[in-house]
Chains A and B, each alone.
Chain A
Amino acid sequence: MVTTLVTVATGLLVAAAVLDRFSLRVVALVAVAAALPDVDAVLAVLHPGLHNAALHNVWLPFIAGGLLTSRRVGLRERLGNDETRLAWAMVLAYTVAVAFDLFNVESAAVLWPLHDRFFAVYGQLAYSTTEGLRFTFFELQFGGGELLPKAGRGTVAGGYVVPSPFVTGDGRTMRAVLVNAGWELLVALVAVAVVGLRLVDQTRGES
């Protein structure tokens, strides 16, 4: 339910925070990384269960992080400092994009294909003067069965499907949402302002 526009905007904000040097090339690469998870909405044409499963996972950032830190692969030496940082920023942008769908009613199968289960982690953390601390994000269950009974949704194999705009039910109506709520528009506007200011700042500093 969080749109690609918002994942790209938030990814760019995180990248701007961790990168010293900012350019249009950086913006483009980070935007691609932040949009990558949502490409599985297109893959859903092959199999409807792949949406929010195929590219929404923790394994890609783990593998990318491993490659970037491994001395044997030596990516760090080959890429140089600036490019390595850019690669890390892209990994972070991707991870934040996945987190948006995991912490949402829409759910994401972040452990797929090793563990086939859609998770939707959402709830409340609040303090009430009459009820005390309230925490309803997940309930761990150690006595066998599912670990996160409240957050667990169906499985890819079991036919659970997160609706994709590219898979049309009646074969005609396609619906693609760019902004789903007010706050999404705000995050997009803020990202445009921040990225613009950073780029202007950078060019002024160089001239």
Chain B
Amino acid sequence: MPSTVVHVAFGLLCGAALLGVRFDRRAVVVIVAACILPDLDTFTSLVVASTHRAMLHSLLAPGLLALVFWHGTARSDWLRVRLAPGDVPRLWTGLFAYVAAGIGLDMFTALGVNPLYPLVDQFVAVDGRVGYETGRGLFQSFVEFPEPETCGGVNVGQRGSTETVHVASGVDPSRGAEEPGTERIFPVVFRGWHVTLALAGCLATWLGLRDTEASA
């Protein structure tokens, strides 16, 4: 549910943490692009109905990219020869940010993503609590198992297919064409933790770049 701004900030936090001394401006560009990329499916949603959170939030998209990177840098070198030195770790870090920040933050909040689209058309929102309570013991609500007498399946937060679920965005607020004058909302932050993650991301980026440029 977080906005693209929060995705980018969390992606930069992950990227700066992964790359350490190798975190530089070029890495920032790669990571920012990687975190914006999944949200471009707000536009595919205009063409193929309700594919925001499905088309580019499918894990198949970064999976394909990983195959391409692996083939172009490890298996043969058609991609490596076209890259500047040090670009290979930047690309893999960008891919990590794509999955962890771009897809992950949406998948682990209320509206979920469609992680295997188009192979399996099912939105999933991984949400729940884990804790301990006297008398009840350890408890968790991420995965709910059906009662033995009912024949329901395991509940991991399935929400339905693109036929029934439409995740609204400023670009495509509802399924089908909108009336002129429809309110379109472009959020930046709307939860306290969005603010903290955004600040932590900015801090990590600033300090990470400062160190890299001081030592260069």
Contacts and interface: CB of A to CB of B under 8 A. Distances in A.
Interface of A: 2, 10, 12-14, 16-20, 22, 92, 96, 99-100, 102-105, 120-131, 137, 172-183, 185-186, 190, 193-194, 197-198, 201
B142 to A, nearest CB: 7
24 contacts: A13-B13, A18-B208, A20-B20, A96-B199, A96-B200, A99-B199, A100-B196, A104-B193, A120-B192, A121-B195, A125-B190, A126-B187, A126-B190, A129-B170, A172-B134, A175-B133, A176-B131, A179-B128, A181-B109, A185-B108, A185-B130, A186-B100, A194-B17, A198-B20
A20 B187 CA distance: 35
Contacts, number: 164
A92 B186 contact: no
A104 B197 CA distance: 12
A120 B20 CA distance: 33
A185 B203 contact: no
A92 B21 CA distance: 18
B129 A17 contact: no
B126 interface: yes
Nearest to B215: A20
Contact of A121 (B20, B109, B170, B192): B192
Contacts of A92: 203
B21 A20 contact: yes
Contacts of A96: 196, 199-200, 203
A183 B109 contact: yes
A124 B200 CA distance: 18
B17 A13 contact: yes
A16 B18 contact: yes
Interface residues of B, number: 53
Interface of B: 2, 13-14, 16-18, 20-21, 23, 100, 104-105, 107-110, 125-135, 142, 170, 181-193, 195-197, 199-200, 203-205, 207-208, 211
A99 B197 CA distance: 9
Contacts of A123: 190
Q: Which of B142, B170, B187, B193 is most buried by chain A, counting CB atoms within 10 A of its CB?
A: B193
**3 interchain residue pairs of minimum CB distance:** A17-B16, A16-B17, A182-B108
Given A177-B130, A186-B104, A10 B197 contact: yes
